[in-house]
Chains A and B, each alone.
Chain A
Amino acid sequence: MDALDLARWQFGVTTVYHFLFVPLTIGLGVFVAGLQTAWHRTGKAHYLRLTKFFGKLFLINFAMGVVTGLVQEFQFGMNWSAYSTFVGDVFGAPLALEALLAFFLESTFLGLWIFGWDRLPKRIHLACLWAAVIGSNLSAYFILAANAWMKHPVGYEVVDGKARMTDLWAVLTNSTALAQVPHVVAAAFIVAGGFVIAVSGYRILRERRMITDGDVTVPMARPARGRGPADPMMWRTSLRAALVMTAIAGAVVAGTGDMSGQLLRDQQPMKLAAAEGLRHDQKGAPASIVPGVEVPYVLSLLAAHDPNAEVQGIEDIQRRYAERYGEADYRPNVPVVFWSFRVMIGFGLATVGLSLLGLWLTRRRRGTPDWFARACLLALPLPTLAIVAGWLLSEIGRQPWTVQGELLTAASVSPSVSVTEVAISLALFTALYGALAVAEGWLLARHVKAGPEPVVPAPRVPDDAEPARLAPTLMY
Chain B
Amino acid sequence: MSWDSSLLWQFDFLILLMVIICAVAALTFKDLITCAVVFGAYSFFMCLLWTEMLAVDVAFTEAAVGAGVSTVLFLGTALHIRRRAKD
Partners in one complex: no
Report which B residues bind A (CB closer than 8 A). none
Residues of A within 8 A of B (CB): none
